[in-house]
Amino acid sequence: MSAEFKVLILAGVLLLCGIALLLPKAQDAVAKLPRHRLGGIVLTCLAMAWACWTLTIHPIDFLAFLSPTKILIGGLILTPLICIFLENLLCARALGGIMMLWPMPVILATRDYVSCLRLIPITIGYISLTLGMIAVFHPWTVRVVCEYLSENKHVRLLLAFAFILASMLCVIAMCSFGKVVGQ
């Protein structure tokens, strides 16, 4: 998958997040998001599948002893255990896990381009990575932020426009990709 396509997917997701925050029912959805049970299960399954796939493709040194089969079995065992034992704020934790997982392919794909605009998706990726770690390790902060966003329409609109602006900046950065370092 090319760097342009990965950045285009990122831009699309950012645009959808911005549009979702502009919808009339966004207030209730944002308020219920951290404790949404089914959403938490679906996002946990997605995050665990993604983590297993990433470990298979890009192994980590201290986990090098794990074969793809062991990674798959571990993921199949851990996913229901996470859904059972981390039920409180599961959706917030799973969302944080996805926020920590998506930057790696985008950063790896864009870091070799000559354009200085490549720093836009890379910066968005590192911001997402940092916020994802906060969401996984302190999920109650996601609940507090979601409560604040559901109560303050102007802040929610500002965040929506920030998502849309970030999406546009990613598209601009994608259009600037051309020459790769070393070619």
Look-up: residue for tokens 């000559």?
114
The pLDDT of residue 107 is 83
The helix (run of H) or strand (run of E) holding residue 81 is helix 68-85
Q: Do 27 and 147 meet the contact criterion of CB atoms below 8 Å apart?
A: no
pLDDT at 183 over 60: no
The per-residue pLDDT for range 110-137, each reduced to its tens digit, is: 877 777 788 888 898 899 999 999 999 9
